[in-house]
Structure 1
């Protein structure tokens, strides 16, 4: 039992688990049969996680089950099927989205990474992609805004039911069109770049400019990941241009050793703290070598902060691969944001 999703980027074939998820598959098959999914947007694309569609409003807040067409608004949603328990183990797992209260409507998602086990029990697995992995990969690479909505529309144009083991419920025939309907103007007005609009942002650019543009996109993607995991306050935060990252240190190397070695390029920045009991300022050296909080052992890397960026740059060019305490160290600019990633200094 299978359905073909004809999208604006190509065809995806979904094999359905009709025996394990009969009610969910019936809902999906009958919605496909009545062309309910035609022109639905992929309204959420979370790279290397999942893509989501099936909402005719394109907002992620709409959609309804086939049962609402047959029995009215009180049947807009239906209860999720939990037995047997099926898991989101592989790329291309197709799952009906939980609309809250363990109820389903029409929205579904397709995973774009393996072992998304935290979706298990939250959404109902009812199929898997059998053909069209390349198309799924294209959707996964879509450029999106902060709400994971693609800047250029990606839509389901048409659905083809290859095999349907379920009899049509009474009254469904009234909702099945004779042929696939044409989209209305309202359906295609998303406020975004149309799915059929040609975009070539490399046109008129030199090879060097194209490579720089691709590096910029990759940099932005990496910083967005860092922002999501909490390593950055925001993706566009400015990078420090006076901080040097030093790694591959010998565990015996101390702060004072690094200060003596790196201070020849310029003044190392100091911290000023107030000693409250005495009411006077106390000058304290900035910690250089990063250490284990419990044991105090060196983690074999350090950050050296200079007063001036010029000193940091000079140290970068002259200290890489230098021998310190019988170890050849590696130095790099602090890589906390996109323009440093873009520069290609991620070699540690």
Structure 2
């Protein structure tokens, strides 16, 4: 409906305005259609993620808080399970956990599903314990959806819109144990930075 309205307004503007001018109402509607995106620069390539601000406002705000503080710089994807997900944002390359203080209310009941390419918050058994760590689904993980096995599920707050080939490379790397941690890539996949593309 919004796209049809935008098309109508553009045609109306073209008929009423001189060549080369743009209808201001149509431009405003197009702006509203744009979702906020971030770029995650990693040691093996870049990944663009679109954030679901409307569906998961608290989760997106929490994630952006960590982005703006530079929390994700030099963290790694420390848990990689092909056919399931890749998890990162909480440990450095030497497997030291990075402090994360802010947690967020679980918004998994937002209607979004843990499908291939979506991004969700990692957490403990406490449904409201998600802080900085997130994971990218590399499969359709329906058992993670609300209400899940614990009555809560895992909150999806973003999706990969560019760079799925990088995600595909990540999920296929060799993994092993690092102390008490399992499924750790043998060669670190480093998150160099996460930055906002548009606001």
Question: Quick check: TM above 0.5?
Answer: yes
CA RMSD for the aligned pairs? 1.8
Provide the rounded CA distance (Å) in 2 between the counterparts of 1:137 and 1:149: 16
| 2:72 alignment partner, one of 15, 21, 37 | 37
Partner of 2:49: 14
| 1:135 alignment partner, one of 166, 180, 191 | 166
**CA pair 137-60 structure 1, distance change in 2 beyond 3 A:** farther
Provide the rounded CA distance (Å) in 1 between the counterparts of 2:40 and 2:50: 11
Contact 2:39 2:49 in 1 (8 A): yes
Contact 1:63 1:107 in 2 (8 A): no
Encode CA deviations 1:250-281: one digit per residue, 9 max, x unaligned: xxxxxxxxxxxxxxxxxxxxxxxxxxxxxxxx
Provide the rounded CA distance (Å) in 2 between the counterparts of 1:160 and 1:23: 18
Partner of 1:80: 106
- Which has the greater radius of gyration? 1
| 2:85 alignment partner, one of 50, 61, 70 | 50
Check if 1:92 corresponds to 2:123: no
Provide the rounded CA distance (Å) in 1 between the counterparts of 2:70 and 2:112: 27
Encode CA deviations 1:13-68: one digit per residue, 9 max, x unaligned: 0000000000100111121122110011100000121100010456596652xxx4
Structure with greater proportional strand content: 2
Partner of 2:136: 110
Over 4 Å off, 4+ runs = 57-63
Partner of 1:28: 63
| TM-score for both structures, normalised by structure 2 | 0.71
| TM-score for both structures, normalised by structure 1 | 0.42
Contact 2:40 2:48 in 1 (8 A): yes
Partner of 1:5: 40
Higher relative contact order (CA 8 A, sep 6+): 2
Shift of 1:81: 1.1
Report matched runs for 1:142-157 at 5 Å. 142-146=173-177, 147-157=182-192
Contact 1:96 1:126 in 2 (8 A): yes
Provide the rounded CA distance (Å) in 2 between the counterparts of 1:136 and 1:81: 25
Shift of 1:99: 2.6
Provide the rounded CA distance (Å) in 2 between the counterparts of 1:60 and 1:78: 22
Structure 2 runs not aligned, ≥5 long: 1-35, 147-152
Structure 1 runs not aligned, ≥5 long: 69-75, 165-348
Provide the rounded CA distance (Å) in 2 between the counterparts of 1:60 and 1:85: 35
